[in-house]
Each structure stands twice: as C-alpha cells, then as structure tokens.
Structure 1
Amino acid sequence: MLGLTVDTTIGSLYGLVNGSTPSVAQFLGIPFAQPPLGDLRFAPPQPATVNRTAVYDATRQSPNCPQYPLTVTTDPSVYTIDSPWLQPYGPWSEDCLTLDVYAPLNANREDDALPVLIWLFGGGFYEGGLITNGFDGAPWVERTQEHIVVAVNYRNNIFGFPNAAGLAETGENLNLGLLDQRLAVEWLRDNIASFGGDPTRMTLWGQSSGAASVDYFNFAWPDDPIVQGLIMHSGSVFATGASVDVSHSNFTFMADSLGCGGLSPADELACMRHNVTAEALIDLYENYTLGADDPALKFTTIVDNVTKFENFTERALAGNYSKLPAILGTNANEEASLLPWVGPEGYNQSYIHYHTLETDQCPANYYNGLRYNTSSLTFRWYNMAYFPNTSPRPWEKAYHASELPLLFGTYPWYGGSATELQHQVSRRWQDLYLAFLKDPVNALPQMGWPAYEPEGHALVFGRNGSVSGLMPMEELYVGCDQFPLPSQ
C-alpha cells in the first residue's frame, strides 16, 4: 500500500486524500528544481537540493508560474466565456518549478510498479499551469487504479523564453521552459518508484504547446529520452509558433521600459534579474500584449540547436530523434476556439475547417507521413465528439482542448450534465491510453487501433453518434494539397 508519506531525494513528503477521489493519494507542489529566483531568474533550472532528512508538506498545489490572467473583458474567447475550466486561474509565483503526483492509494510499491503518464499543459508558451479545473489527474486514477498521473509546472513567456542577449552571448540555453520539463522528467526517473511508479514505463503527454514540448523533447534527447512513449494532442514541432527575434529586441524593449536600458547585454540581464520585480515584468508584458499593437512582444521557443533545431524534417530524415512509439491527433473543429471571438454566433463551419486544415490537421498528416517514412510507430486519432456541457454553442463542436476533460475524467464537473455517449467515449479513450502506457508497441493494435500507414486508418471518436471507429486516412488528406508543406 502506498500510504500518504513517501521518501524522495528532496526529503519525506506527506500528501493527502481528497473526499471526491478517496482511492487516490495526491502529492502536490513537489519542487523538482531550486526556486528560479535572483541569479536563477532567466537561467537554466538547477536540480532541487538533495536532503533526505527534510519533511515536506505536499498537500497544496504551488502557484502557477508568472502570467497574466485572461478574462472575458481582456480576451473574450470560447475559453473565457464558455469553458473557463480549461483556463489556469489563481495565484502565480516565480517559485513555481513543481509537479503534482496522483497515485492509487493502495498501490503495492514493490510488487506491482505502475506505468506513469507525465502531463505537459498547453497555453502557447505564454500561459498555463497546474491550477486548472479541467486538468485534474485524480478522477482518471480513481477510475483505473492502474496508473499514475504526474502534472508538471514549467516557466512560460519571458520567464521561460527570455531570449536575452546576455544569455546568448555566453552560450546559455534560451529555451528555459523546455529545460524545466526535462529536469522534471529526470526527477521522476529518480523518484517515481517511491510513489509506486515504474521508471521504465513513463510516457510524456502534452497538448498544443505542451504537445510541441513533447516533440522538442523527442528531438533534443534522442539517445536518452527516459520515457518509453509520446502522446501529442493538437501540436508537434510542425504546428507551433516560433520566435524570430534574432536581435533579442523584445527583451531589450522590456529592459528599456523598466529602468534597465542603455546597458551591455550582461549588465542588462543582471539588472532585469535583480532590479525588477516579477509583477512589473508581467504588468508590462500584459499591457503590451493585450493593449498595444506596436511593439508586438513575443516570448516563445527559439532555435538554439540544442532544444530546438532549424530543420526538423532534415533531422527526422537523418534519424536524429528518439523514434519512440507515439500517439498523435487533432480535433475536427480545432480553430473554432482559437480564431478571434466575433460574438456568440461564431463563424461558419467552412471558415473554421479551412483554418483547422491549415494550422492543425494537415501538419499532423505531414508528421504522420514523416514518422512512417523513417520507421517510427505512430497511432493517429481524430476527434469529432462534442457535448453540450463542454461545447454549448452549435458552431463550437470539437474545438482545441475540448477533448481533454474526457481523458482527465473531469467533464461531469462543469457545464451541466454529461451524456451516456460522453461517458462511453471517455472510458474508451482512457482505456486505450492506459493500454499504451503499459505496452506502447502492441497494445493498441490488439484493441482495434492500427498503426498509421498512408493508406491506412485513423481512430475516430464520436462520428455519427458512435463511440469510436476507424476512418480512412484519405479522408483526412482532403483539402491539404492547397497548403505548402512545413518549411522547418
């Protein structure tokens, strides 16, 4: 039996059991890195201090990493108006490099080590966090009692991707948020057995920018991926934004605006680390992102040829990626929630479909083919399932991130009553992923989900009122010939 006290490299942790999921032990706010404060602001994460005699309270989630809130007033959207449970909320803090572990309370840590699913949230690399109602790991674990879910906090926006000249001139990595994720996986490799998990059966799962993160991980550490499988929802290295700020002008603009202007790159960086509060950084970033067109501030991943590369097609063709088995998929109406809000009447479906093809579905098709041609196992899904409690307006349907409550099992909590079909789709999807966690090579074909082939089939959810079924890939290719192939 797991119990509520576990020993780790940072000390003894005591967790809790929530009354709504009484068979799940929750260990929250576990620091996997030193607080990124002072000299460690805008710096690669450093491992948490080893202290096996310490006692740590793991009964509360830590704050999200620094970000400004999106509201109906500042950013009207499907997420702020119709599905706020998919948005992060609550306090934020720079001291945020933590993770949450959800494990079966009665797990036998010695005789029955469990597979582990590691979750990376999305949010465009500018927002996101663990305090998000729809992404609670406990309900899924409560239902199955056969796996562990871990959720990872990592830095976003200027804190995670500062692209400062002072970092570039010393050769330091610019994609700090991606390094946060790697360090969390390394911490889990060393500690997950204490929670009843199997460090040889860990799968990395992300959505949107979280899915791109999973794929960056896939290419950055091909010889030491640590995990045994990958799951990517609505994103990859071929479907994500990128910074082209080679002159580091965004960071310098922030510095100039906050009293750190006119300095050498090294002094500018030092000033921004020690003389400016996190609140001032976020306030300025929010004001210029939401209230000004010029300059357009953007802090996101940048090519450093360590964690992000110039040409992923070239690297894939050369075999320079992990080639781990992967699940990859998109929703039928992704862009319904990502196009600018035009009011409750929304957009017509042909317009939404065009942008979904361009931004989501066709890049996924390209990546499926690239992985197939370089001898990697891929399982493609396509989601058409949508329900009144999560997609209340007729035009929304299966939009970006709307499928996630089905996987987490949180869909009955918000937006009204769930339907029987919703229960069935959720259970089917959960069971397929659980099987993949246990055996990423053989399990899914045995359950009726064949590996991707160009003339083969994707697994479709919710088509014509069905739970799941097979869909010819040729149907997903329709319309993609009007878009150029990815250039990276």
Structure 2
Amino acid sequence: MKQQILSILSLILGPSHVAQDPGLLVATGQGAVAGTLIVPTVRQFLGIPYGTAKRWQPAQIPPVRHNVFQATKYADGCLQNLAPANSKYLILNGNGGTDVPSSEDCLAVNIWAPSKDRKQNTAVLIWIHGGGFVFGTSGIPAFEGTNMVRDNDDITLVTINYRLNIFGQPNPPQYSEKINVNFGLLDVHAAIHWVHANIANFGGDPNRITIAGQSAGGTAVDAYTFAHPNDTIVKGVIEQSGRQAFIVFCGICDHTDWTRVASAVGCGGDGTLQQMTCMRTIAAPILEQAVMSTGASFNLVLDNVTIHEDFQARADKGNLLRVPLLVGSTAHEEDIFLVARQLSTTGLIIPALTEIYSDASSGFIGTCPSSATAAQRLNMGVPTFRYQYEGVFRSLSTRPDLRAYHSAEIPMIFGTYNSTVIDGGVPASAEQIALSKYMQSAWVAFARDPVGGLPSVGWPLYNPNTSTLAQLGNFFNTSGVVFEESAVVDAVCNHQGVLAEIIFQSSQVLDG
C-alpha cells in the first residue's frame, strides 16, 4: 500500500519530492486527497467533500472516489442571501465573501495541518463561520489557517461550509419531519463526524477535537451541545458572539417567507405537495435571487432534532454536553450592523448617534448572551472561561463608528489581519500584532487542553465574583489582556428597560 502511495506521489509531485514523503497525499474514507505545502511547515487541503445532499435532504457520506481528489482550491460556497445590508457587512469586514462562487454542491472542509517533520497527533480545532444562518462561507481570507498552524505547535485547523437560508432551513408549510428541519445544522453535525473519522490521517488527534464558531457559528456550537448531550467526539467548545440556540429560532414559524418565495418563482402560494415538487425543480440561483428580491428571511426552526421545543427545560436540567467552554463577545457588536444598514439604505452616517445606539444595543446581542451562557455552564459545574474583545485598530476599524465590532476579533485569532482589504490596507501596529499572537496562543491552548490549557498560560477559570473576565486589547493593555470582574461589563444587562428606550429613540432617527 505504501509503495502505491509513493508511486502516486511521484506522479503528482515528481520523484525528487517522494523520498521526503511530505504527507501531501492522504487517505480518507472516500479515497485519497492531494494537498499542497502552502509554507514549508504547513500542509493545506482545500475543498474536501464531507457530504453530498439533494435539496432539502440530509447530507450523506460522499461515494468512494477512484481518482485522487486535488484538494488545491476552495469548494463553492453555499448559496448566500447577499441582500444589500448583508453585502455591505461583508465589505466593511474587508474579508470578501460577496464574490465567492456558490452552488448547492458546497459541503466541504478545509484543513491546515503541520508538516510531517513537526509534531503530529495534534489537537484539532473545527471552525464554523457566522452570517446569521443566511450568508457566509469558509473560503474567505479571514479564515485562512496557515498562520495559526505555522506559528503554533500541536494544532490542526479545519473550516467548514454548511447550507444557508432557504437551502438550510426552508420551513415549508408541507409539514414533514424530513423537510421541516435545520439542514444547515445537520451539515455541521455531519462535518464534525467526518473530521472525527478522517483527521488522524492528516496528523490530527480524533480524541482532542474542539468546535468553535462566531455569531451564527457560535449559536451552532451551542445547538450542538444541546442536540448531543452524550457526545464523545467534542472535548471543548468556543462560542464567540453567539446566542443560546433556544432563543434564536423563528418565533411564529408561519411559513410566510416560504410562500412569498414560492409565489415569486411561479410555484404558487397554496402549500400543496405540487408546490414542493415545483420548488425542488427551480434552479438554485433563481431561488437565491427570489429570497433577496422578496426580502425573505429563513431562520432556525424548532425541528426537535437540532433545536428542541423543550430547550429551556433541558438547560434547566443540565441536559447538554458538559465540556469546557470559552465564551465571549466584542465590546461594540452593533457598530458594523448599524453602519451597514445605513450605507445600504440612506447612505447617511451619523457617527455619534450610531455609537449611542450601538453602546445600548451591543449588550443585548453580545454581552448579555455571553454572560447568560457562562452563568448557565457555571451552574452545571462546567469549566468556563470568558472574555470581552475590546481592541480598536486602524487596520481593521477603518471608521470612527467601527470600534471593537462584531467579528473584529476573528482576524486577530487567525492571524489574518493583513489579509483583509480595507481602506487600501493599513499596516498592523506592533500592539495589534502582539495582541493577535496572544489571542491566537490562547485559543490554541484551549484546543490543546480545554480544562488546563488556558490556566497554564495565566488565564484563570471564570468566576463572576472575582477578576477573571479577560478583557482583550482594552485601554489598559492594548497588546494583551487585563482581568476584571464581570460586573464591569455586565452592568448593561441590569438596565434593559432604560436601554430599550434609548435603542428605540435612536432607531427612529437612524431610520429617518
């Protein structure tokens, strides 16, 4: 078998590379994949299929391939809702995503692993991107894993795609347990299981897998812990600016958006089986465009598979996966949403008013959910670590009303702050580089050992009554961390009535 692999390597890489066996040809359950040595110390494998799925059906394991899969480019992204505000959000992030090729054939993983001459059997970090479950993709510069694996030992990074908006959670009126389901979350589950089954061949340790995500990705992580309370695969979870899964699903779930889209594409609005048959035949780009043109929004649904109706009761009883948690948010989550919304509508930006609104509402979407999630896990005796990202750097925050905004921490963790294209590309400062290295090392330490990794680098377990909340990149230490009591940032959660009035009044002005 080894001789066969070496022979194939010789054809792919040339005989001079074969003697070193760089580990670029890797066996998987579906056949061999060939990657690249992206830098001398990091192997890269892009676009490997972890599942195949017909529209509105659960993903299946891909068939066995008889040819070597060339894992040298990202797979298509899953179809996105790139409505004006969503597109503007991606542009303000400087991370691309608006021009990524997309299709329904999108279920793929990307892997960055240490070169064969470095430590193998590494910890594994699986990253789940955000985007409100309606947009986003793994194939953008911010999520490129070379720097994290190059600059840290004992880590393999995996990023994934999963189905979005109407393709991910369609919520049609034709009720069926098979189609009223969150297919995007099922995709996440399938990807995690594929990684567990195959990552050892890439040099990763299947017994040390941590899942991490930001925004919707953080919510997907939270949902996984509830859907799989007895899971033995995942050993640690990281939730960045995510919300507890049981408070983000659609409220009424009255199928209005499905009906609106079905009518727009000529399938009628009657909710019959014929309508469903028609919707399955509509070309994906046409469906995608109809979602955007009708203003439809497809949120998570209560499917009692990935999101359960008794979520709160499960939480109260501690019926979830009790593995160590790293949870946190950014100080000014709402900044980027407000700017994106104003730029995509009136085009008029009022920085001072934007900041007032953001300061009031950021607690609702970031600080308070993080605080509640941390408290919930602490009550269950789960080892918990908590942070707030507060860094403001010119290379990422390019406007006075873009401070420590939602997703600003991502390029700091991945070390990709110089890959973003904002304002012509402002160089990172020395403080920013130092903070990025610290944050990256902290996330890697957690992935290596979710219980003891962070304490080993001076980051204590979270206790709301002591100075154990990590404030990253704030005024007092722009290049590192300051530990403070959580009351300093959680005070906003105790004045929600006042804040709601401020938000309401500000929004009236912002919306004209």
Q: Aligned in 2, Cα 1:101/1:75: closer, same or farther, shift over 3 Å? A: closer
d(CA) in 1 for partners of 2:272, 2:240: 38
1:302 counterpart residue number: 301
What is the CA deviation profile of residues 368-408 of structure 1, one whole-angstrom value per residue up to 9, with x for unaligned ones?
A: 11111121111000111120010022231100001100111
Match of 1:477 among 490, 493, 497: 490
1:28 counterpart residue number: 46
Match of 1:100 among 98, 110, 127: 110
1:223 counterpart residue number: 230
- How far the C-alpha of 1:266 sits from its partner, in A, is 3.0
TM-score with structure 2 length normalisation? 0.86
Deviates more, 1:7-16 or 1:341-350: 341-350
Say whether residues 1:177 and 2:184 are aligned partners. Answer: yes
Say whether residues 1:380 and 2:376 are aligned partners. Answer: no
2:250 counterpart residue number: 243
Residue 212 of structure 2 aligns to a residue whose secondary structure is strand
Counterpart residue identity of residue 137, structure 1 = G
d(CA) in 1 for partners of 2:368, 2:209: 29
Q: Structure 2: state its 5+ residue gaps.
A: 1-20, 498-512
Q: Aligned in 2, Cα 1:54/1:9: closer, same or farther, shift over 3 Å? A: farther
d(CA) in 1 for partners of 2:140, 2:380: 37
1:423 counterpart residue number: 433
Residue 104 of structure 2 aligns to a residue whose secondary structure is coil
Residue 444 of structure 1 aligns to a residue whose secondary structure is helix
Say whether residues 1:62 and 2:80 are aligned partners. Answer: no
d(CA) in 1 for partners of 2:269, 2:275: 8
CA contact (8 A) 1:117 1:148 kept: yes
d(CA) in 1 for partners of 2:86, 2:131: 14
Counterpart residue identity of residue 204, structure 2 = G
Counterpart residue identity of residue 463, structure 1 = N
Match of 1:188 among 179, 191, 195: 195
- Within 5 Å, give how 1:245-260 maps onto structure 2: 245-260=252-267
Say whether residues 1:411 and 2:411 are aligned partners. Answer: no
- How far the C-alpha of 1:288 sits from its partner, in A, is 1.6
- How far the C-alpha of 1:68 sits from its partner, in A, is 4.2
Deviates more, 1:356-365 or 1:230-239: 230-239
Match of 1:441 among 437, 440, 451: 451
Counterpart residue identity of residue 332, structure 2 = N
Q: Aligned in 2, Cα 1:224/1:50: closer, same or farther, shift over 3 Å? A: farther
CA contact (8 A) 1:100 1:151 kept: yes
d(CA) in 2 for partners of 1:361, 1:239: 17
- Within 5 Å, give how 1:446-457 maps onto structure 2: 446-456=456-466, 457=468
Counterpart residue identity of residue 469, structure 1 = V
- Within 5 Å, give how 1:37-436 maps onto structure 2: 40-51=54-65, 53-69=66-82, 77=88, 79-80=90-91, 82-85=92-95, 87-106=97-116, 112-166=120-174, 168-172=175-179, 174-237=181-244, 241-261=248-268, 265-274=272-281, 276-289=282-295, 297-339=296-338, 340-341=341-342, 343-348=348-353, 349-414=355-420, 415-436=425-446
Q: Aligned in 2, Cα 1:118/1:403: closer, same or farther, shift over 3 Å? A: same
d(CA) in 2 for partners of 1:65, 1:79: 15
1:5 counterpart residue number: 25
Residue 338 of structure 1 aligns to a residue whose secondary structure is helix
Deviates more, 1:140-149 or 1:475-484: 475-484
Equivalences, count: 463
Counterpart residue identity of residue 380, structure 1 = R
Match of 1:462 among 445, 453, 473: 473
Q: Aligned in 2, Cα 1:157/1:107: closer, same or farther, shift over 3 Å? A: farther
Q: Aligned in 2, Cα 1:215/1:2: closer, same or farther, shift over 3 Å? A: farther
CA contact (8 A) 1:212 1:239 kept: no
Residue 95 of structure 2 aligns to a residue whose secondary structure is helix
What is the CA deviation profile of residues 58-90 of structure 1, one whole-angstrom value per residue up to 9, with x for unaligned ones?
A: 11111111124456xx6674542x432164532
CA contact (8 A) 1:76 1:341 kept: no
C-alpha RMSD of the superposition: 2.1
Residue 475 of structure 2 aligns to a residue whose secondary structure is helix
Residue 28 of structure 1 aligns to a residue whose secondary structure is strand
What is the CA deviation profile of residues 342-377 of structure 1, one whole-angstrom value per residue up to 9, with x for unaligned ones?
A: 645424433211101122111211221111112111
- How far the C-alpha of 1:165 sits from its partner, in A, is 2.9
- How far the C-alpha of 1:15 sits from its partner, in A, is 1.0
Residue 205 of structure 1 aligns to a residue whose secondary structure is strand
Residue 366 of structure 2 aligns to a residue whose secondary structure is helix
CA contact (8 A) 1:2 1:196 kept: no
d(CA) in 2 for partners of 1:317, 1:186: 28
Q: When you count helix as a share of all residues, which structure comes out higher?
A: 2
Deviates more, 1:337-346 or 1:4-13: 337-346
CA contact (8 A) 2:46 2:71 kept: yes
CA contact (8 A) 2:474 2:481 kept: yes
CA contact (8 A) 1:328 1:381 kept: yes
Q: Structure 1: state its 5+ residue gaps.
A: 290-296
d(CA) in 1 for partners of 2:441, 2:474: 19
What is the CA deviation profile of residues 12-41 of structure 1, one whole-angstrom value per residue up to 9, with x for unaligned ones?
A: 1011233xx34221111111112x3xxx20
Deviates more, 1:1-10 or 1:340-349: 340-349
CA contact (8 A) 1:203 1:437 kept: yes
What is the CA deviation profile of residues 221-268 of structure 1, one whole-angstrom value per residue up to 9, with x for unaligned ones?
A: 111151110001001326963223433232233222222226664332
Residue 101 of structure 1 aligns to a residue whose secondary structure is strand
- How far the C-alpha of 1:105 sits from its partner, in A, is 1.9
CA contact (8 A) 1:99 1:184 kept: yes
What is the CA deviation profile of residues 176-214 of structure 1, one whole-angstrom value per residue up to 9, with x for unaligned ones?
A: 000000001111111000100000101101000000000
What is the CA deviation profile of residues 426-475 of structure 1, one whole-angstrom value per residue up to 9, with x for unaligned ones?
A: 11111111111111111212322111222122011112251112011111
CA contact (8 A) 1:65 1:92 kept: yes
Q: Aligned in 2, Cα 1:107/1:181: closer, same or farther, shift over 3 Å? A: farther
CA contact (8 A) 1:27 1:58 kept: yes
2:7 counterpart residue number: none
TM-score with structure 1 length normalisation? 0.90
- How far the C-alpha of 1:326 sits from its partner, in A, is 0.8
Counterpart residue identity of residue 27, structure 2 = D
Residue 478 of structure 1 aligns to a residue whose secondary structure is helix
